A and B are shown apart, each in its own frame.
Chain A
């Protein structure tokens, strides 16, 4: 509790995992095991030493989990007796964590084929197949999504038409790095050659896309998920019945009194937030800071112009 010591369940899960992996692989070097399980070589050594002294009650030599001592001295782990234990199936929570995350990405509509097939294999392997599922809310053009996926895989640029929240169309050449699904909405993280900077573009705003031949040269942003960093804190006051919308904003803090609810939340995508506020226009009392208010006004004008 609060110490640096690893908690028990994750460690025992890895201990059982080492046994099963070694049973399947025959033998493996300490470095290979460390790499595979994402821990240090020193930790693998401690894990093997713990396994080595564990066994059936009585702890006679034949009752213990055993390894080849000669190989161990050479840094190679060879399992000689597993005592019949090994990795256990996914717990209900683990199943929901893995299937939930993958299904959320797949529901975003821009996931690579591997995410689809991994999800199918996982669902196939668990006993409880519908503990969790994801609902699609984004509307992504499948052809655009396919082009982005192929370009990321082939590491080439994409030429695309992008419409911002105000329907201003721009043609851009981007170096795509990563598809990231944030709250069900897929974005492409890229280097935009037009802007000469990193950009995160909403995939549903890409009107058309075609693969170019130029290779990607800019490295991916060093902070994966840089798009998630809130640019500023919004403060929005609205009539209480609009609470349902305000409470959907990530990390929102709400205060309610006198029939008015005030929401404070971080804004990463200004135009997306403005678009949502538009839907409760008649309930809005105040919107700040100015960049968000301006974007809201801009979108409102665009709607009125379209509707006129």
Chain B
């Protein structure tokens, strides 16, 4: 077959697949979001944005992302650096650290619920230590901080490994000679991390952060398990519009708003972590 045509033929199946199962539904959602009885309108967007829970769920989602992602980034960097320095047992540790990735987000939420609920492990432990004399229900509206903390912890536990895996691969791509040069020219281990590893890791940091930030805006099941209605987030509201209020126009509008926020943050991350022309490895 013609060598110029072949690549296009080879990507045809996946293009068709994405067109059928991604692009087409996306167009339908967009039509729904912008549609109303009188044709095109922003009515659905106005409705969801004006709703009293919208600012709260937007703020909660952003707050959660702002609390979780930096911690995950720092942890993932630390863990990736540790794994990369290991001589033996490196794969084993990596597998163990990535176990939470294999658990669904709802299951992860339920695991942490088992820790924080009234009859949960945390209560048993505090009771056993004599810190409290009767079980406390932490996950209520009286303890918004604890609810937030529980959700954040569950998210950190569940989804740090996805960044870890990307960063470990990225660190592995940095040639050893750069560190030797840095050693000879007087860079301390910390300086080597900040002046060599971090800048040379930019492409991997981009990927890891984009992926993680997008997932952070889509947070749903962990919140549903731990916070229920106490802690409204954007994706939870979208679910409520679609299945509780049976307002698919509003749900579609919410979905597009979340998409817009994700695209916005992706562009910001790509911009901040861009590699200047000619400066890649």
**Chain A complexes with chain B:** no
